[in-house]
Amino acid sequence: MNIVLPKMIARAAPHRMLEHASTAGRTHLEYTTPMTSTQFAVAPSIINRSYTITADIDVPQGGANGMLVTQGGWFSGWGLYLKDGKPTFTMDLLDIERPKWQSADALPPGKHTIVFDWKMDPQGPPLGRGGTGTLSVDGRQAAQRSLPKTQPLIWAWDETLDVGSDTGTPVDDKDYQVPFAFTGKLGKITVELGESTVSPVIIKRMMEELSQKKDD
């Protein structure tokens, strides 16, 4: 019997599980300069949907490291960054699992485009549905991995969205320590959002089903 989840859904649905207020209806967001401390409620929500994150960067002579874009941190979140010069995307799923996609090679000097593309499975539960993530560098696939499930509700609400550094806790403290400022030149971060699997109708249906199970 589960009586916690329905309460979580009821409390979260109005302003957390649905679209964030400032990004509701927006599917294309761009960040063209380093920025920090963008609060959860005004950050793009990548949970329960397909999405694509693109970073256009310039690597100087001698290589580069650092955070390109991140949200959340140690307890849950995600980050796209260069570790030892290698493009890396990490999800932190409630500090239980940290799926990682990483290029085998460090980036040479020059301009590069790094893309992390998450394709949600076409069938499955509306919350935390699995899918396949693909990391590409300059149009070539660098890593691909499928997950049976992902984050179901929200990332760590007390952490922020940062571009060009990480001002909270790291999504993986084995990879880096904050602030992990990017040592190259950041051109643009683009976030493309697919359609969400969560809607008021779906939430209502889930609450009714869970309440019925509780009463059984």
Q: What is the pLDDT of residues 28-42, one digit of tens each?
A: 999 999 999 888 778
- Euclidean distance between CA atoms 101 and 135, whole angstroms: 6
pTM listed for this prediction: 0.83
Q: What is the pLDDT of residues 87-133, one digit of tens each?
A: 999 999 998 999 999 999 999 999 999 999 999 999 988 888 999 99
Query: Which residues have C-beta within 8 Å of that of residue 84, sequence separation ≥ 6?
Result: 65, 106
- Euclidean distance between CA atoms 154 and 46, whole angstroms: 9
Total tally of structural domains belonging to the chain: 1
Per-residue pLDDT of the chain (216 residues), as tens digits, is 333 333 333 344 433 444 444 455 678 999 999 999 888 778 888 999 999 999 999 999 999 999 999 999 999 999 999 999 999 999 999 989 999 999 999 999 999 999 999 999 999 888 889 999 999 999 999 999 999 999 887 888 789 999 999 999 999 999 999 999 999 999 999 999 998 887 667 667 767 767 777 666
Q: Examine residue 129 and state whether it is found in any structural domain, yes or no.
A: yes
CATH of the domain at 57: 2.60.120.200
Q: Examine residue 2 and state whether it is found in any structural domain, yes or no.
A: no
Q: Which domain holds residue 68?
A: 28-211
Q: Examine residue 15 and state whether it is found in any structural domain, yes or no.
A: no
